[in-house]
């Protein structure tokens, strides 16, 4: 069954088995982050609206949850900023009223926490995970390339206000971008700010899949380890985000639709998809090879292997110098033969 607003379950590096709810059209966001795995923002906005009929989202969610799937979380995430949607509050309220046994998380860039209405919408969630990469405006603009006029000091005040109002857990994400927010001065200012917010958890994140800009790279393990130790000097737990080994989630029959829906939102390797679906890696490679041959899926080599994605708006995810295999017929055929284990 094809879903427009619900995707997964997927294995999330942060939340385990997660059923995703996507309230936002592709790449509608208040940021245009250099590291975003979903590609460049096509609608840069901070104006809230009902992008899709709230009733349609709830109907789709009810159909998926009718089978009582095994989940760690139901997560508002996807390919844009979920707090931009006026459907967030009603859908969250529906979940907590009708499916109280499921934990609900919201992944947000935090930019709209300045809005009291957004903070009220978020109150019902079990976990809210805002992103805060820096406490300085210059680095904020370099990393996030936000809607003009957004000030990081206002966003910090908004997150602090939410902390005062919220009884659930705040898992604060710090995305590490070497050369921008990893200097001693930047880290000191950021740590002081985070300690003042008092989240339940600090999650240090880094580039794991191809980002929007090709120059963004993950930090060296030694650097990320030192940064973790630095943030852990206080009383707040700190973790470096990574994959957990999990049991397979899906049967063979469910896998193709899940692969399609998930690759529209983020790039994945064959190994990622195998873990997510329960299929063997060779079987996943064969599926992907056929999808590349049909022109449905694009592929690009990255640090962890070959990443696959579907550009749902027809746009290129990477820059001209990082053209995908789909644009190079010899490479495309070579990749297909490799995936099918012919070579």
162: alpha, beta or left, given left = phi > 0 and alpha = psi -120 to 50? alpha
Q: How far apart are CA 6 and CA 326, in angstroms?
A: 28
- 317: pLDDT confidence band, cut at 50, 70 and 90? very low
Q: Give the pLDDT band (50/70/90) at residue 181.
A: very high
Mean pLDDT across 34-41: 89
Q: What's the CA dihedral at 78, 19, 264, 84 to 10 degrees?
A: -20
Q: Same domain for 148 and 231?
A: yes
What's the structural domain count of the chain? 2
Considering the domain architecture, whether residues 274 and 226 belong to the same structural domain is answered as no
Distance of CA 282 to the CA centre of its chain: 26
Phi, psi of 87 (to 5 degrees): -80, -15
Same domain, yes or no: 86 and 183 = yes
- Inside any domain, residue 251: no
Measured CA distances, 139 to 31, 35, 260, 261, 274 (Å): 13, 13, 35, 33, 37
Q: Is the pLDDT assigned to residue 244 strictly greater than 70?
A: no
Above 80 in pLDDT, residue 258?
A: no
User: Count of alpha carbons within 13 Å of 137, Cβ hemisphere only?
Assistant: 7
Please tell me whether residues 19 and 97 are part of one structural domain.
yes
CB atoms within 10 A of CB 330: 8
Answer yes or no: are the C-beta atoms of 324 and 298 closer than 8 Å.
yes
C-beta neighbour count of 216 within 10 angstroms: 20
- Range of the structural domain that residue 331 is part of: 267-339
Q: How confident is the model at residue 334 (pLDDT cuts 50, 70, 90)?
A: low
Query: What CATH number should be reported for the domain holding residue 217?
Result: 3.20.20.70
The pLDDT tens digits of the residues spanning 271-285 come to 777 766 666 677 777
Q: Burial letters for 153-171: b for 16+ Cβ neighbours within 10 Å, e otherwise?
A: eebbebbeebbeebebebb
Least confident of 13-17, 38-42, 79-83: 13-17
Together in a domain, 175 and 95 = yes
Is 249 part of any domain?
A: no
Q: Is 67 within the bounds of a domain?
A: yes
User: Which residues 6+ apart lie within 8 Å of 151 measured at CB?
Assistant: 137
Tell me the per-residue pLDDT of 132-158, one tens digit each, with 9 for 90 and over: 999 999 999 999 999 999 999 999 999
In the chain, the N- to C-terminal Cα span, in Å, equals 35
Average pLDDT over residues 126-131: 97
């Amino acid at each position: 069954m094809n879903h427009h607003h619900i995707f997964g379950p997927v294995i999330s590096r942060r939340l385990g088995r997660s059923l995703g709810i996507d309230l936002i059209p592709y790449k509608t966001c208040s940021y245009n982050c250099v590291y975003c795995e979903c590609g460049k923002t096509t609608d840069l906005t901070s104006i809230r609206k009902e992008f899709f009929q709230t009733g349609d989202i709830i109907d789709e969610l009810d159909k998926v949850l009718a089978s009582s799937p095994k989940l760690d979380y139901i997560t508002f995430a996807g390919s844009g900023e979920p707090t931009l949607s006026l459907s967030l509050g009603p859908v969250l309220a529906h979940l907590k009223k009708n499916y109280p046994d499921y934990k609900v998380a919201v992944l947000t860039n935090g930019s709209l926490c300045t809005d009291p209405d957004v903070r009220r919408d978020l109150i019902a969630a079990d976990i809210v995970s805002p992103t805060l990469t820096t406490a300085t405006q210059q680095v904020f603009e370099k990393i996030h390339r936000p809607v003009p006029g957004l000030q990081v000091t206002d966003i910090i005040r908004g997150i602090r206000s939410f902390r005062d109002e919220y009884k659930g857990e705040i898992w604060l994400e710090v995305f590490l971008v070497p050369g921008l927010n990893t200097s001693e001065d930047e880290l000191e200012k950021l740590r002081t700010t985070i300690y003042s917010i008092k989240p339940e958890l600090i999650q240090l994140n880094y580039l794991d899949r191809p980002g929007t800009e090709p120059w963004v790279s993950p930090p060296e393990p030694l650097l990320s380890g030192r940064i973790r130790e630095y943030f852990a000097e206080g009383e707040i737990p700190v973790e470096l985000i990574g994959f957990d080994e999990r049991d397979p989630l899906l049967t063979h029959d469910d896998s193709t639709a899940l692969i399609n829906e998930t690759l529209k939102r983020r790039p994945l390797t064959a190994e990622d998809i195998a873990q997510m679906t329960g299929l063997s890696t060779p079987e996943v490679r064969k599926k992907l090879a056929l999808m590349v041959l049909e022109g449905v899926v694009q592929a690009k080599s990255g640090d962890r292997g070959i990443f696959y994605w579907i550009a749902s708006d027809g746009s290129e995810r990477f820059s001209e110098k990082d053209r995908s295999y789909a644009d190079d017929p010899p490479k495309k055929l070579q990749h297909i033969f490799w995936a099918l284990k012919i070579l």
